[in-house]
Structure 1
Amino acid sequence: MKKLVLLLLVLPFIGIAQEKGTHFEHGATWQQVKEKAKKENKYLLVDCFTTWCGPCKYMSSTIFPQEKVGTFFNKNFVNVKVQFDKTNGDSEEVKSWYADADAINKAYKIQAYPTFLIFAPNGELVHRIVGGGEADQFIAKAEKALHPETQYYTLLKKYETGNKTPETLKQLAFAAEEAYDKENAGKLAAAYLDTQKDLYTKENLEFLSKFTDNSKSKGFQLLLKDPKKVDAVLGKGKANAVLGGIILQEEVYRYLRNPKANLDSLIAVAKSKYPTVDMSQQTDLLQVQFYQNTGNWRKFQSAVLAYMGKYGKETNGQMLNSFAWTIFENCKDAECVAQALAWSKRSVDETQSKEPAFLDTYANLLYRTGKKDEAIAVQQKAIALVPENEKGTYQTTLDKMQKGEKTWVEK
């Protein structure tokens, strides 16, 4: 009897805990969800997701369950999740939404996931958010949907009916970019720049750089014509960085889908077409990434050593760790492994030994270079930092080190 009473006392608190996160509607049709939003005079948030989308899973598992996120969305929105792919494991509820998901997709052109469509209580689409984000950032994005002066589609309607002041054009260009409306973002940005007498102010050049995404645009031609003048305002190398990204996208990346593509030839053609643009750092990094992705470890080794020799001081911890781990797994050359050990140590030092993945890489490289005791100590530090559900993988590596077994696979 005492156990039963205790259980009854605990159950209400379990219910409270579950309600702290964001509430999503279940067991209702698309029409019923819209009617509920209208009846409660709330905005309607539609979380458009797929089962294979990593950021979608992160939003569901980490962001929406947070109390502050739930407080904001439950107060202001009726919330519903709609799955946009079809799998063999779909529940009956998911299947019941297949037709509505197809209709929503056709009507509102979902191009990336997650996409969040936001409707006013009257059922009119007023805003769109593409991509997730951390809690505070995501709440700030959704807050814009509650105010006509920041609702993307409301602003777009005003523009289309004649409100084309420079400030409106600029604000709307940013809103279009955030809504993943690339076509309108480009048009609006160009329209705004046409209103500006001096394009070489810091504010205008930063805007121009953000919205320049193809070689035919006004921004590209301006950057190409006088990169030194641009760099004098924005900083050394800024013009080439924007130009190089666009050139590589148009002249190289698009052709790499062909398994017979020759990267070196594509880069040579791009450089000959734009001889005044220095994209050496971008192409050197591209070679590293390409050979890494294609498993050409001989060329990867040469490319990564060359890249680090030129630009190593500018490389961040994440990239250092990635390069070091790839070498640990795939390169046998002792000198190359020694270089990777130094990069790995830098990544650990720069993050003050607080990144367990970086510590794990460092421990493995120490172990491979014969520093067993030091490797074990570092791996123990890594295990202490990881969540409980991830400790197993790290512990397996530690066990191998303590037994004197290889932690890598010979290739």
Structure 2
Amino acid sequence: MRSIIALCLTILFGNLAQAQTKGVKFVEGLSWKQIKERAQAENKFIFVELFATWCGPCQYMSNEIFPLEQVGQPINQNFISVRVQMDSTESDNANVKKWYADARAISNEYNIQSFPTFLIFNPSGQAVHRIVGASDAPEFVGHVMDGLYPETQYYTLLKKFEKRPQDIYTAKQMLKAANIAYDENTARKAENTLANSLGTDELFKKENVHILLAAAKFTNSKAFNLIRNNKEKIDILLESPGIANRTLANVVVNELFQIKIDAKHEPNWDSYQNELAAKYPDIDFVPMFKKIKAHYYLQVKNYVAMKNTINDYLSSEDFTPHQLNTFAWTIFNNSSDAACIESALSWSKKSIIEDPSSAFLDTYANLLYKKGEKEKAIKWQNKAIEMASEDDRPIYQETLDKMMKGIKTWEN
């Protein structure tokens, strides 16, 4: 089983965006039997989230990913969705208690060891796909949509791979699905098939080098060491400076940085970073730890420390537009510190240069408004409305109306 930190680290790349949009609609009040009967009647797949109340990544998915329209729209269209609480607490309501027996049965049948775990069942009620861990919105939607097709479904591929473990095409698909399902044993087998069948020279062809990156989930794997010994070559092949180092650092941190980050005890960052650097002196862990720290400070609501960490990170590395919008929107909703607002504006501006989507424009406009630049804010909010879909325009119009009236648009 992966350590809790391994799952927590995946949320570093999340997209904490505006949660006003239409998200995943989870069915409530039905039993597991009734859900399966409904799925069969409607010819829909079933999307099941297995979570625990104490699980940080589960809360992240619930609060920041599932409310997004870009997540809700494809999932609602193709799936009947249900959330299943896997632990028990004194505050559990009657509906949660009704699921105790089914939750235990699902846990036993599918060997649930980490949270969140997502299972996908076909309309006949058979498990076809498995996803473990939190991720950002675009990546998560991709993983879920994989559950609709036999060539990418984890459980379907597993049956094929067990019958034909030397088939290269199946091994490629199995490696990806096994990594997403955190099935380490199967991932290693698929990696060995590919490494032995393709050979080192074949793996270093541009069309195959992504297999190395996908296979490098463990420090003792062949893929990890091939990447470690050929970092510059891989960066050139993929035309992405630093991608090899980032892959290696992520593997090491997930495997060896085995502590539980919580709001009560801030880790000794320097001590852990130095410990890993001493063991792997050829890997640069500084950017990875800056990302970890940034998200930690976000979780504990230390927005000044988060701002300083992000600005430090951006001096040498880049976040994606989604990540920049994540942090900018969080500052907007939660901090009135002038320096934090100014930094968030710079992150937001960078995000809309790279991706001028309506949500990112809305973030920029709201930050301008909170700073006190009302006229500029109204101008940018009008741009957000122009770029928005028909469904989203009323939401952004409501924000514009508040700006026009001088009403607060932020939560805290």
TM-score w.r.t. the length of structure 2 is 0.65
Taking the aligned partners of 1:33 and 1:326, their CA distance within structure 2 comes to: 36
- What's the secondary structure of 1:128's corresponding residue? strand
In structure 2, the residue matched to 1:225 is 229
Taking the aligned partners of 1:305 and 1:56, their CA distance within structure 2 comes to: 28
Whose Rg is larger? Answer: 1
In structure 2, the residue matched to 1:358 is 364
- What's the secondary structure of 1:115's corresponding residue? strand
In structure 1, the residue matched to 2:312 is 306
Further displaced range: 291-300 or 275-284: 291-300
1:31-70 equivalent positions in 2, closer than 5 A: 45=46, 47-48=48-49, 54=62, 62-63=73-74, 65-66=76-77, 69=78
Q: 1:259 to 1:188 in 2, by over 3 A?
A: same
Give the structure with the higher percent helix. Answer: 1
What's the Cα RMSD here? 4.8
Is contact 2:154–2:174 with CA below 8 Å preserved after alignment?
yes
Q: 1:193 to 1:395 in 2, by over 3 A?
A: same
Q: Deviations over 1:138-174 (max 9, x none)?
A: 89534424xxx66543543344345433333223223
Is contact 2:365–2:376 with CA below 8 Å preserved after alignment?
no
Q: CA deviation at 1:241?
A: 1.5
Q: CA deviation at 1:243?
A: 1.0
Q: Deviations over 1:372-400 (max 9, x none)?
A: 44345445666786554676666556544
Q: 2:250 aligns with which of 232, 245, 256?
A: 245
Structure 1 residues not aligned, in runs of 5+: 1-21, 74-78
1:195-234 equivalent positions in 2, closer than 5 A: 195-198=197-200, 199-234=203-238
Q: 1:193 to 1:57 in 2, by over 3 A?
A: same
Partner amino acid, structure 2, of 1:233: L
Q: Do residues 164 (structure 1) and 169 (structure 2) align? A: no
Further displaced range: 220-229 or 374-383: 374-383
In structure 2, the residue matched to 1:19 is none
Is contact 1:397–1:407 with CA below 8 Å preserved after alignment?
no
Q: CA deviation at 1:240?
A: 0.9
Q: 1:98 to 1:197 in 2, by over 3 A?
A: same
Q: 1:109 to 1:388 in 2, by over 3 A?
A: farther
Q: Do residues 173 (structure 1) and 175 (structure 2) align? A: yes
1:316-395 equivalent positions in 2, closer than 5 A: 316-324=320-328, 329=335, 331-333=337-339, 338=342, 340-352=344-356, 354=358, 355-365=361-371, 367=372, 371-378=373-380, 387-388=393-394
Percent of paired sites with the same residue: 26
Taking the aligned partners of 2:324 and 2:370, their CA distance within structure 1 comes to: 15
Q: Do residues 261 (structure 1) and 267 (structure 2) align? A: yes
Taking the aligned partners of 1:406 and 1:28, their CA distance within structure 2 comes to: 40
Partner amino acid, structure 2, of 1:190: N
Further displaced range: 248-257 or 50-59: 50-59
- What's the secondary structure of 1:185's corresponding residue? helix
Partner amino acid, structure 2, of 1:239: A
Partner amino acid, structure 2, of 1:116: L
Is contact 1:152–1:172 with CA below 8 Å preserved after alignment?
yes
Is contact 2:384–2:396 with CA below 8 Å preserved after alignment?
no
Q: 1:119 to 1:347 in 2, by over 3 A?
A: closer
Taking the aligned partners of 1:130 and 1:345, their CA distance within structure 2 comes to: 34
In structure 2, the residue matched to 1:115 is 118
Partner amino acid, structure 2, of 1:268: N
Q: Deviations over 1:314-372 (max 9, x none)?
A: 44434444555566625445xx765554444444454447331232123323x1xxx44
Q: CA deviation at 1:218?
A: 1.6
Higher-RCO chain (CA-CA 8 Å, sequence separation at least 6): 2
Taking the aligned partners of 1:210 and 1:182, their CA distance within structure 2 comes to: 12
